[in-house]
Each structure stands twice: as structure tokens, then as C-alpha cells.
Structure 1
Amino acid sequence: MAIGRSPHRDLVKSAYIAWDREDWAEAGRLLEQAVRAAPDQRGSERLWFDAALAYKFLRDWPKAYELGREAAARSRRGAEDPAFWNLGIAATALRDWATARDCWAGYGLDLPPGTGEITADLGPTCVRIDTRDGQEVVWAVRLCPARARVISVPFDPGRRFGEIVLHDGAPNGERVAGGRTHPVFDELLLFESSPTATLAATVTARTGDDLRAAAEAFQLAGFGAEPLDSADVLCRCCSEGTREVADRFGAGEQQLLVAAPEERAVRLLDAWAAADPAARSWRDLHPAT
């Protein structure tokens, strides 16, 4: 980070030493102290931005919002200035929809008009969510530039199909599916929980296409299903790189994770098995653990 001109140059220098060791609390405190002493001098917009960014890293949304407003006020609108994006994230975390909408416009995005919460369909993406044992990449649909709804079934039952997550603005990896490349965004927080718990059933499928039919039945009904065997365990380097992915549906007896109310799950599994009883069966539907 460049050190701007400041009457408290030592403060700024100490702030970026703390930054380099990822001591975000100390970096944010020192940057704010320095920039408030000379809020509008040349280069101050960088200090405001970095101070807000440090508090974003801390997930201190009120402070990131407060300092982010100062950074955005000193930034040019319509020029894809990241000050607007970071403030938009903080405003979204605080559910200040008017400020969030203004930030996306200030950045230069053209979103559907309206007021209040943004619930657009901005297409599929991937989100790296936090789990009990680490992290997991799931498929999602973007609702706004900073939020996405999970549309695959997480393998960790502590996370759920249908959750809405707040995610970062900079992609951290890519997934290639069907010839299309999708960014992977890191989760910042669970924005809205889902009532749909994950269930597990033992299914038997004669072919991979039979198992695919089960997953498609849940998807067509607005729910989710994932074969447990399709999980990929990746190192951090691979997860944050570019990776080709494809559906993996195998034959035989296996565990199928489903996201649907239990009664609906039973009906869907019964209908799937009844369509070809010689090739399909299921048993033992229970909460996933």
C-alpha cells in the first residue's frame, strides 16, 4: 500500500505495517486516526478506502459503512471505483437498501429500477461458504451484486439449500461448467437462513441416468438433491484456481442428499422409484448428519 501525504506520516506508516501482518483492527484504527486529522488532503481518499476495507475484513459492518461513506464521497461516480462496491457491501449487510442501490449506480452498474431490497436474477455463480470443517463451494443465483441464494445442497448439513449469503466483490477462483466460466466469491456472512434442512436417503439406481432423474425431480419441484459421492475435496490452491466441474451420477446403492420438507421428499422419491421399479428404489430417509 502506498503511503499518502499526511501530517501523521508515522501513523500511516505504522498502519500499513499492521496491514502487512493482517492486523486489521490496528490498521483500521491507525488509518482512521490519521485520515481524520486531514480528511480532504490529497490522497486522503485512499486512506478512507483502506480504513473502511480493514473494517470490512473484520466484518465490522457499522464501521465499514461509516468510513466507506467517506471514501465514496471522495470518489468519481460511474468510473467503477471500488469505494462504491465496498460501501455497497457494508450497506447491504446493514440492510440499508437505498445506500446500496446508490452505490451500485455509483460504481456504474445498471440494475433493475426500484426501491428497497434487490431481488433480481443476475444469473448463476459459485460461493465459497464456511462450514464446520472448513469451506465448501456451492452453486448459487445472484440476487444483487453482493448477495446470492444457494441452489445446490451443501455437503455439510450445517449449511442449507436456499440460504442467502453476503459475498465479497472480488472473485477468488473459477468453475467451468458446460463451457461457461463462473466466478467463485467468498462468503462474508450468512445473510438469511433457510428453513429447508438437508435429509439423506439410501437410493439404488441401475444407471447414472436413473440417479440423475431423481436429482432432476427435486430440482423441477423447486428443491435440491446431490449424490454424496459427488463431493470433491480440494486443497486451497486448487479451490481458488480454475476448475472444470460436471455432474457426477453413478449407478448402485448410495447416499442421496435432498433438500425438501420430509413429506415432499417422500412423495418425490416414491414417484421417482415408481417410474421404473426394476431400476430404482430408496429407503431410510433421515436428517443428514
Structure 2
Amino acid sequence: MSRVQLSGAEAMELLQRGEDAADIQDWPVVAACYEEFLTAFPDTPISAELWFDAALANKFLRNWPKAYELGRQAALRAGAAQGHPAWWNLGIAATMVGDWGTAREAWTTYGVPLTPGEGEIEDGFGSALVRLDPGGEAEVVWVRRICPTRARVLSVPYGRRRFGEIVVHDGAPTGERLVEDHAFPVFDELALWQASTAATWRAQVTAPEPLDLTALAGAFEDRGLAMEPVDIAGDADGGALAGARDVLLAAPDEQTATAILAEWAVAGAGRAWHAIHAKA
């Protein structure tokens, strides 16, 4: 940023406009006002907070290079204070721009333990739920977290999204789901990190017993794929029922899906499948 000259009155007006815009979540105005102020006054007693707010506004705008640039300044002024949100937001922005060294520094400074190493982070951070496209379809799916901000989709989404996608999610949970008395956090998606090669197929199956449907799910999981009964797809709390029903299948092609279905069908009495097609 190149320095600009602002009078005291102009600086106060910028701050007020920024605060008013933040109240109504007008993030472009927030970012513009605070960035202009900071070019003139980078290190006033209130500047550290404004660096953070400006970086946060750009995160909400999905302007990752700018969120990264401003986030570095915010983290610098936060010091090594463990748990400071400036470091978490920098970790997200650094991940999005592919600066893995800075991402690792940000997570460890925040207080997240990482397996020692260099480059892209892919570790085990447990299961959680992510709300895909929170401003649109807002479908909640199961994920396996592979770093503090990225996760691989384990469900077969009912909407336009795909099993196996890697998504970037926000750091603050926006809810939780109770499953067998265990609470799992629900995070909002920020961005699609990596698309999936798995297509989604829809088929009709007959599963006489609940365990038959469980076996079908296991047959797909054993191959790194997935199955969801249609009436519970999109509901991460759902449970499988037995009988004739439609299912969603994640598989790279129809041949793979039908091979798994056929193998499952012959392994149990009364099992059957038919009418497979690509999900619209």
C-alpha cells in the first residue's frame, strides 16, 4: 500500500462509514474504507483491529489474495498470542493462495498441532459436517477434515455437488448435530478447493432387511465410494430403512456402479437392483 494523506476529519469519516457498512454486512465498503484508512495510518492504536477487520471483509468477499495480504499484517500485529483469530483467518487465506509455509505457521501459532512437515497439509482432523453453498442449497453433508480448514465430502449430496469434493470451510461452527449423544460441529463452506471425479447415479434397489442396505453402503465404501438412500440424502442425521427404494451412488462411471450393485445383489436373498441412471 502506498501512503495517502488524510485529515483527521476524513479519517473519522472513513471509520464511521466502515462501521456503518459492517453493521449491514456491506463488505466491499468495509474493505474499501478500512484499507484507505490503513494506507494513511498503518500503526495507530486502533490499526491492529482494522487490519483484522479489513482482512475479514475480504475473506467474506472471497478475495483471497487481498485477505492474505491484509491477514499477514493483522497477524504480525497480533504477535504470538495463541488463539488469536487473526492467525486462523491467515491460515485460511494462506491455504487458498497455496502458501503452505505461512499456513503451517498460522495454524501452529494459533495453537493447532500439526504433524511436522512441509508443503500441503493432509492430516486427520476427525469427522464433521459442512453446509455446502450456505447461501443457496445449504445442504449439510458429512466430511473428513484433512487440515484445519479443508475437508473431503463423504456423503453423496442430493443437490448438484459431488461425493469426494474437497471444500474449504470457515473456522467458527454455525451449529451442531447430535448423533448418538455425540455433538458434531457444522461449518459453512467458503470455497470449493478440488472437484471430484465421481459422478452421481440414481438406482432402485430392493433391500429386504436393514442390514442389506448397510451391506450395500459397505460395498461402495470398500471401494472408496459411497451410497445414500434418497429419502435421507442431504440429512446427515438420517438412518437407513429396509425395502424397495431409490438410492444415490457415487461412482466414476455406470459400469463401476452396476458391478458393485450386481455383486451385492447376489450375496443376499431377496436383494435386487434396476433402473440405474445418471442423476439429473
- What is aligned with 2:207? 205
Counterpart mapping for 1:70-219 below 5 A: 70-130=73-133, 134-156=137-159, 158-219=160-221
Structure 1, residues 180-230: CA drift from partner, whole Å, max 9, x if none? 211111001100000001111110111222112111211122110000011
- What is aligned with 1:265? 257
Residue 136 of structure 1: how far off its partner (Å): 0.2
Letter of the aligned partner of 1:63 in structure 2? K
Give the Cα–Cα distance (whole angstroms) in 1 for the partners of residues 216 and 9 of structure 2: 63
Give the Cα–Cα distance (whole angstroms) in 2 for the partners of residues 133 and 60 of structure 1: 20
Q: Are 1:28 and 2:31 matched, yes or no? A: yes
- What is aligned with 1:279? 270
Q: 1:192 to 1:6 in 2, by over 3 A?
A: farther
Measured on the aligned residues, the alpha-carbon RMSD in Å equals: 1.9
**For the Cα contact (< 8 Å) 1:77–1:108, is it kept in 2?**
no
- What is aligned with 1:239? none
Give the Cα–Cα distance (whole angstroms) in 2 for the partners of residues 129 and 268 of structure 1: 28
Aligned with 1:74: secondary structure? helix
Q: 1:6 to 1:219 in 2, by over 3 A?
A: farther
Give the Cα–Cα distance (whole angstroms) in 2 for the partners of residues 76 and 129 of structure 1: 33
Q: 1:248 to 1:80 in 2, by over 3 A?
A: same
Give the Cα–Cα distance (whole angstroms) in 2 for the partners of residues 60 and 248 of structure 1: 39
Aligned with 1:189: secondary structure? strand
- What is aligned with 1:238? none
- What is aligned with 2:3? none
Q: What is the TM-score normalised by the length of structure 2?
A: 0.92
Q: 1:267 to 1:132 in 2, by over 3 A?
A: farther
**For the Cα contact (< 8 Å) 2:177–2:237, is it kept in 1?**
no
Structure 1, residues 71-98: CA drift from partner, whole Å, max 9, x if none? 0010121421000111111111111111
Residue 177 of structure 1: how far off its partner (Å): 1.6
Letter of the aligned partner of 2:28 in structure 1? A
Q: What is the TM-score normalised by the length of structure 1?
A: 0.89
Counterpart mapping for 1:47-66 below 5 A: 47-66=50-69
Letter of the aligned partner of 2:278 in structure 1? P
Letter of the aligned partner of 2:62 in structure 1? R
Residue 131 of structure 1: how far off its partner (Å): 8.1
Residue 6 of structure 1: how far off its partner (Å): 9.7
For residue 244 of structure 2, the aligned residue among 253, 258, 272 is 253
Over the matched positions of the two proteins, sequence identity in percent amounts to 49
* Unaligned residue ranges in structure 2 (runs of 5+): 1-7
- What is aligned with 1:67? 70
**For the Cα contact (< 8 Å) 1:167–1:185, is it kept in 2?**
yes
Structure 1, residues 223-253: CA drift from partner, whole Å, max 9, x if none? 10000011467xxxxxxxxxxx644212222
**For the Cα contact (< 8 Å) 2:140–2:234, is it kept in 1?**
no
Number of aligned residues: 272
Structure 1, residues 125-181: CA drift from partner, whole Å, max 9, x if none? 11100289621000001111110000111111x211110001111101101223221
